[in-house]
Structure 1
Amino acid sequence: MKTLKLYHVPLSGHSHRAQLMLSLLGLEPEIHLIDLANGGQKSAEFLALNAFGQVPVLDDNGTIIADSTAILVYLAKTYDASGKWLPTDALTAAQVQRWLSVASGQINNGPARARLITVFGAAFDPADTIDRAHAVLQVIESHLQGREFLAADHATIADVSAYSYIAHAPEGNVSLEHYPNVRAWLARIESLKGFVPMPRSLAGLVG
C-alpha cells in the first residue's frame, strides 16, 4: 500500500501549502512534525530528505519531493486526474508558473517575511518588509478585479501557493482592510471542498 508522508511544521505557510493541496485532493498523509525550536530540521535524518534543511518535504512511498511549490506541482501531476489544478494548455500553464514565482518571490519577501518577524523573531526590517507586502497586495488586488482566481476561471495550484501567507498577513502587521478583492478571493479558497486552515498565532494585528 502506498504511503504518503508529510514532514510538516503547523505554523509554516510553506508547510501549509502542501498540507492544503493534499487535503484538496482528498489525500491523507502521515504527518511527521519537525521541531524547529530544537533544530529538528538540522538533524542528519531530515537533511537526508532535504539538504537545505527546510520544510515541507513529501515522501510518496520513497519518492522524496522537497520545496513547497515543487510539492504542489508533483501532487497535481500525480493525483489530479481532472487536470484542473495544473492545466496543460500553454497560456494557463504559464500563468500558473507566474504566480508560483510570485509566491516564492514577492509574497515570500513581503507577507511571509513580515510574519517571520512577529511570529518567529526574524531580524528583518519591519517597515521595509511591510512596504513590500503592501506592494504585492496592491498588484494582486488589481489583478483580481473581475477575476475569481489568480490564473484561471477556477482554483489552481497558483491560488494554493499564494493563499497561506496572504491569509495570515495580519499576523505580520500587514492589514488586509483595503483589499476587498483579496479578501473575497481568500473566502473563495476557504470555501473549497477539502480546505484546511493553518493555525493562527496571536501576533501582529491579530493579538
Structure 2
Amino acid sequence: MTPIKLYRTPKSGHCHRVELMLALLGLPYETIDLDMMNGAHKAPEFLAISPFGLVPAIDDNGYTLADSNAILVYLVQTYAAGSDLLPQDAKTAAEVQRWLTVAADNIYSGPCAARLVTLFGAPLDHRAAIAKAHALFQLVEAHLEGRTWLAADTITVADVAGYSYIAHAPEGGVDLSAYPNIRAWIARVEAQPGFVGMAPSPIPELA
C-alpha cells in the first residue's frame, strides 16, 4: 500500500488527530512538515491540495483532502468501514457528529485558542480562551461520569477528534487537575494499540 501523505505542522492538534487516526488504523503514512512561518501553506502547489491553505491535508494515492474532521471520517469509511470507530446506527452516529461539532467549535475556541496564544503568540484573548476551556471541560467532566468514551461504548472518531487539544490543554495554561474523568479518558485513549502522541511543549508559567 502506498503511504498516505500527511501535510502538517508538528505542534498542531488538528494535524495530530489525523496522525493519531492513521496510527490507530495501522495505515502506512509519511509526514510532510510545512514551513508555515515562511508561507509554505500558501504556495501554489499546496493550495492545489488544500485550497484554503490550511493543514492538515492528505494525499491518498492522488485523492487529496483537507479539514481534520473530514479526513478522520474519510479514513475510517475507506479503511475501516463498519468498525465501531464510526457507528452507523442513527442515534450513535448523531452523538459522534455532535462531538465533531464540539471539536470544531468549543474545543477550537477554548483549549486550542489558549494554546495558540502560549505556543505561537496568536493575538487572541487568552483569558477568554481559558474561561471557555474550563466551561467546556466542566460539561465534558460531567458527561464522562459513568462513561468510558464520549459518544459510544467503544472509542470512536469523536474521541480521536477531541483528544489532542484536550490532552495538551495545560500547554495553553488550562489546568486539568480538577477533571479526573477527563484525565482518565485521556489515559484510555493513550492506552489504545498503535497510539502515537504529539511531542509535548513546555507548560507556561502563568501570573
Instruction: Please give the TM-score of this superposition, normalised by the length of structure 2.
Output: 0.97
**Structure 2 match to 1:19:** 19
Q: Secondary structure at the match of 1:26?
A: coil
What is the Cα deviation at residue 205 of structure 1?
5.2
SS at 1:51 equivalent: coil
Deviation of 1:127 after TM superposition, in Å, equals 1.0
Aligned to 1:125: 125
- Residue 105 (structure 1) shift: 0.3
SS at match of 2:196: coil
How far residue 83 of structure 1 moved from its aligned partner, in angstroms, is 1.5
Give unpaired runs (5+ residues) of structure 1: none
Structure 1 window deviating more from structure 2 (77-86 vs 24-33): it is 77-86
Maintained 8 Å contact 1:174/1:205: no
> What letter corresponds to residue 121 of structure 2 in structure 1?
G
* CA distance, structure 1, for counterparts of residue 204 and residue 106 of structure 2: 20
Q: Conserved in 1, the CA contact under 8 Å of 2:3 and 2:27?
A: no
Cα distance, 1:124–1:61 mapped onto 2, change above 3 Å: same
Aligned AA for 1:4?
A: I
| 1:204 Cα deviation after fit | 2.0
1:97 aligns with 2:133: no
CA distance in 1, matches of 2:167, 2:38: 27
Query: Matched residue of 1:162: which SS?
Result: helix
Runs of 4+ residues over 4 Å off in structure 1: none
Residue 165 (structure 2) pairs with residue 165 (structure 1): yes
2:113 aligned partner: 113
Contiguous gaps of at least 5 residues in structure 2:
none
User: What amino acid maps onto 2:151 in structure 1?
Assistant: A
CA distance in 1, matches of 2:145, 2:205: 26
Aligned length: 206
1:7-156 correspondence runs (5 A): 7-156=7-156
Identity in percent: 56
SS in 2 for 1:65: strand
Residues 3 and 28 of structure 2 are in contact (CA less than 8 Å); yes or no, is this contact kept in structure 1?
no
How much has 1:67 moved relative to structure 2?
0.3
Q: Which amino acid aligns with 1:107?
A: I
Query: What does residue 192 of structure 1 align with?
Result: 192
- The alignment's TM-score, normalised by the length of structure 1, stands at 0.97
